[in-house]
Amino acid sequence: MPAGDSFFIATPIFYVNDVPHIGHAYTEVAADVLARWHRQRGDDTWLLTGTDEHGQKILRTATSHDVTPQAWADKLVTESWKPLLETVDISNDDFIRTTDERHEKGVQRFLQKLHDDGYIYQGEFEGFYCVGCEEYKQPGDLVDGTGAFEGEQVCAIHSKPVELLKESNYFFRMSDFEQRLLDLYESQPDFVQPENVRNEIVQFVKQGLRDLSISRQTFDWGVKVPWDEEHVVYVWFDALLNYVTAIGYGVDDEQFDRRWPAVQLVGKDIARFHAVIWPAMLMAAGLPVPKAVFGHGWLLVGGEKMSKSKLTGIAPQQITDVFGADAFRYYFMRAITFGQDGNFSWEDISARYQAELANGFGNLASRVIAMITRYFDGTVPVAGELTSADLAVRETELRVTAAADAAMDRFAINEALSSIWELVDVLNGYITEQEPWALAKKDDQRERLATVLATALRGLGTLTVLLSPFMPTATRTLWEAIGQGELTSQPVDRAAEWSSAPTVQPLAAGLFPRIEQPEPAA
C-alpha cells in the first residue's frame, strides 16, 4: 500500500440515455489528471467513475428504441461509455454501474438503515417533474417556453415542458439537516468549491430545505424499496450512493475505511445534489461527508452550454482522431480556468497544439536529444562548473515543481500547467541564448557545451515527470529516450530528482506530429 494519504476521487456517474460528448470527457480528464498526480506523489489513490442507469429518462429512451432498459444500458456502456475511457486515456481503478448487484444491494442496505433510524416517512406529493433533470422543480426553476412550447412553462435547463406528478411517495427528512449543513459550510469553507458555487449552495440552503421525495411508484426501472416493493428508489438517491457502494459500504469495512471520504468532482449543474442532498444523506447514516465537492464550469460551444439535446455535442473522438488523446487532455486542462466556463473552438485547439505542444515542448525535446546524439554520440554529458544561467534553470525546475504541486492541491489544474510551462519557456530561452551549436564549433568550449546540454537535459527530464499526469503517452515516449526506471514511479513532487539513463535514444518521430487538416467542421 502506498505510504501517502488516502486520495479517493470520483466523477459523477453519467446517464446512459445518450453517448458521451466532450463535456463528459472534460470531467473524466480533470479527475484523471488529479488522480495521476496524487498517485505519482505516493498518495493512496483511487479513481472511480461509472454510469447512472435507472430512472425514467433511461426507461423512456430504451422504450423508444424498442429494447429493455437493461439491454439499452448494456449496449451504451459497452459501445460508448467504457470506450470513452480509452479514447481520453483514463486510469480509473473501478467502474460502477447502478445496475451492478453490489450497488443495488448497497442502496437497499443504506435506505433500510435510514428507515430503521426514523429518517424516512410516507406521504403524498404533487409537483412539477423534469425528466431531463430527473428532479422535481420549484416554480422559480421554470421559464416561459418558446417555439413549439410557447405558452407552457418549461425547465430552464432543458427548455422542455415539465410534468405534473401526484404520487404517494417515501420521503427523506432532509429538512432536519438544514442547520447541520449550514454549520458544515461555515466550519469547512473549502467543502464546496469554487467560491461562486459555494455561495450559491449556501444561499440555496438558507432559503430552507424541504424533505426529499425518494421513491417512485408509477414505473419499476430502479432499485426496489426494501420494505415496499411497489416503489423504486428515486434515481438521484440511488445514483449518489454509488460513491460508497463502490468501495464496499456495509460489506467491506476495511476497503471503505481506507478510501472514504472522497473528493467529488462534478459539473456545477449537479453541485446541489452533491453539496446538499448527498451530505445530508451521509449525516443521516452517521457517515463522514466528502472531503470536498468541486463544481467545475461548463464547456461552451459557440457561447452555449454544449449538449446533445441542443445539437452542440461534439464526440471526444472527433478531436482525438485529429490531435490525439494527449493534446485533448492538455488543451482542456490548459485553456480553461478550472472552475469557470470555457469556450471550445477548433481554431484555439489547433493554435495551442502548434505553438505550445509541437513548437514549444515537442521541439525542445527533439533538439536536446538530437544535440546530445550529434555532439556526444548519445552519451549524457557531465556538467562542469555552473554559471548563473545554468543555476537559473535549476531554480526554475524546483520552483515550478512546488508551484504546480500546490496548485493541484487547490484544484487549480490550469495554474499547475502554466507554472510547468514556465520551464518549457525558460529551457527554450536558455538554449537560444547559450547557442550550443556555436559552442560545438569551438574545441576549447567542449566543457561548456557539456554543461549546457546536461543542464538542458536535466530540465527536460523534470518536465517529462511533471507532465506525465497530463500527457501520459508523449511523456512515456520521451522517458524511454532519456529516463531510467518507470516514469510513473518518479515522485512528481520531487520531479527534479529524476535519474537519466547513461545514454539518450533518438526520438523516432516528433512527439506532436504536424496536423495536416487542423480544422474539421464542428
For the annotated catalytic residues, the residue numbers are 21, 24, 130, 133, 155, 158, 305, 308
List the 228-233 sheet strands across, edge first.
215-216, 228-233, 224-225
- How remote is the C-alpha of 343 from its chain's centroid? 17
Closest-CA residue to 163 (of 188, 192, 133, 187): 133
Question: Is residue 12 at the binding interface for ligand ME8, with CB under 6 A as the rule?
Answer: yes
Question: Is residue 27 at the binding interface for ligand ME8, with CB under 6 A as the rule?
Answer: yes
Query: Per residue in 302-323, is it b (16+ CB within 10 Å) or e — as a string?
Result: eeebbbeeeebbbbbbbbbebb
Q: Which is nearer to ligand ME8, 13 or 59 (CB)?
A: 13
483 near 288, Cβ under 8 Å?
A: no
Task: Work out how close the CB of 337 gets to ligand ME8 at its nearest, in angstroms, rounded to a whole number.
Answer: 13
Question: Is residue 110 at the binding interface for ligand ME8, with CB under 6 A as the rule?
Answer: no
| List 6, 7, 8, 24, residue binding ligand ME8 (CB under 6 A) | 24
| List 6, 7, 9, 13, residue binding ligand ME8 (CB under 6 A) | 13
**Residue 356 buriedness (CB in 10 A; 0-12 / 13-18 / 19+):** buried
Task: Work out how close the CB of 248 gets to ligand ME8 at its nearest, in angstroms, rounded to a whole number.
Answer: 18
| List 52, 89, 326, 356, residue binding ligand ME8 (CB under 6 A) | 52
Q: Which is nearer to ligand ME8, 24 or 36 (CB)?
A: 24
Question: Is residue 72 at the binding interface for ligand ME8, with CB under 6 A as the rule?
Answer: no
Cα 322 to Cα 71, 287, 412: the distances in Å are 32, 46, 27
Interface residues for ligand ME8 in 210-239 (CB under 6 A)?
Answer: 239
Interface residues for ligand ME8 in 453-492 (CB under 6 A)?
Answer: none
Q: Which of these ranges, 160-168, 179-187, 262-270, 319-327, lies near ligand ME8 under the rule CB under 6 A? A: 262-270
Site string for ligand ME8, 264-303 (x = CB under 6 A): --xx-xx---------------------------xx----
| List 240, 325, 380, 457, residue binding ligand ME8 (CB under 6 A) | 240
Q: Which is nearer to ligand ME8, 296 or 458 (CB)?
A: 296
Q: Which is nearer to ligand ME8, 120 or 293 (CB)?
A: 293
Interface residues for ligand ME8 in 297-356 (CB under 6 A)?
Answer: 298-299, 305-306
β-pair type (6-15, 263-267): parallel
Cα 490 to Cα 93, 313, 361, 498: the distances in Å are 20, 38, 20, 6
Q: Which is nearer to ligand ME8, 267 or 279 (CB)?
A: 267
Please report which helix (H) or strand (E) contains residue 141, including its range: none
Q: Which is nearer to ligand ME8, 132 or 459 (CB)?
A: 132
CA pair distance 499, 494, nearest whole angstrom = 12
292 near 193, Cβ under 8 Å?
A: yes
Give SS3 for 150. coil
Return the C-alpha cell found at 112.
433500510
Cα 271 to Cα 177, 199, 275: the distances in Å are 17, 12, 6
Task: Work out how close the CB of 90 gets to ligand ME8 at its nearest, in angstroms, rounded to a whole number.
Answer: 13
Residues that contact ligand ME8, how many (by CB under 6 A) = 19
> Which residue, chain included where needed, has cell 439491454?
71
Q: Which of these ranges, 9-17, 100-108, 183-191, 324-332, lies near ligand ME8 under the rule CB under 6 A? A: 9-17
Q: Which is nearer to ligand ME8, 236 or 479 (CB)?
A: 236
Task: Work out how close the CB of 233 gets to ligand ME8 at its nearest, in angstroms, rounded to a whole number.
Answer: 13
Question: Is residue 50 at the binding interface for ligand ME8, with CB under 6 A as the rule?
Answer: no
Cα 487 to Cα 88, 333, 468, 493, 506: the distances in Å are 19, 21, 8, 13, 18
10 residue type, one letter: A
Please report which helix (H) or strand (E) contains residue 157, including its range: none
Q: Which of these ranges, 13-21, 168-176, 284-292, 503-511, lies near ligand ME8 under the rule CB under 6 A? A: 13-21
Closest-CA residue to 232 (of 52, 101, 111, 67): 111
Task: Work out how close the CB of 178 gets to ligand ME8 at its nearest, in angstroms, rounded to a whole number.
Answer: 22
Interface residues for ligand ME8 in 161-220 (CB under 6 A)?
Answer: none
Contact set with ligand ME8 (CB under 6 A): 12-15, 23-24, 26-27, 52, 239-240, 266-267, 269-270, 298-299, 305-306
